[in-house]
Amino acid sequence: MAIEPSVLVLNGPNLNMLGVREPAIYGTETLDDIEALCLERAEALNIAIDFRQSNLEGELVSWIQQARGEHDGIILNAGAYTHTSIAIMDALSVAELPVIEVHLSNVFRREAFRHHSYVSPVAKGVICGFGAHGYLLALDALARLIDADLSNGN
């Protein structure tokens, strides 16, 4: 029996406030709602997910480092750390896993400082502007990447 692929879904600072934080930008769904959507999609894709959130940069870095030996890919909404964290970028690079960067809002329709990402250079792809549905798109994309890796014997 094949081992079920595993994906780490990481959420950065302030995402625990979804549903009450600027709903016109981020929507009314809570992080728990997004986790439930992800669990449902992951089950349909035969993927296990480990869904986490932290407001602490160092904790996110530690989880990314641990993912190297425990997961087959990472979905990351780094929140504001997207625009500031070289430490997260370096951890993602060292993890050597496929990464999909997710943002609820279209960062390119917002303030100029949000247009730069330290995650993008080490990500396979970026999904932004689709709200919670972006996480499901990321799971679909990562499932295809993992399947391709497994098919190639990686």
Q: How many CB atoms lie within 10 A of CB 61?
A: 20
Active site residue 118: no
Binding residues: 77, 83, 90, 104-105, 114
Binding residues for substrate: 77, 83, 90, 104-105, 114
- The residues, ordered by sequence, that sit 6+ positions from 16 with a Cβ below 8 Å of its Cβ are 31, 53, 55
| Active-site annotation holder among 81, 103, 118, 135 | 103
- The residues, ordered by sequence, that sit 6+ positions from 30 with a Cβ below 8 Å of its Cβ are 18, 19
Helix axes 133-151, 31-45, angle to 10 degrees: 30
| Active-site annotation holder among 26, 81, 118, 135 | 26
Active site residue 26: yes
Q: Which residues are catalytic?
A: 26, 103
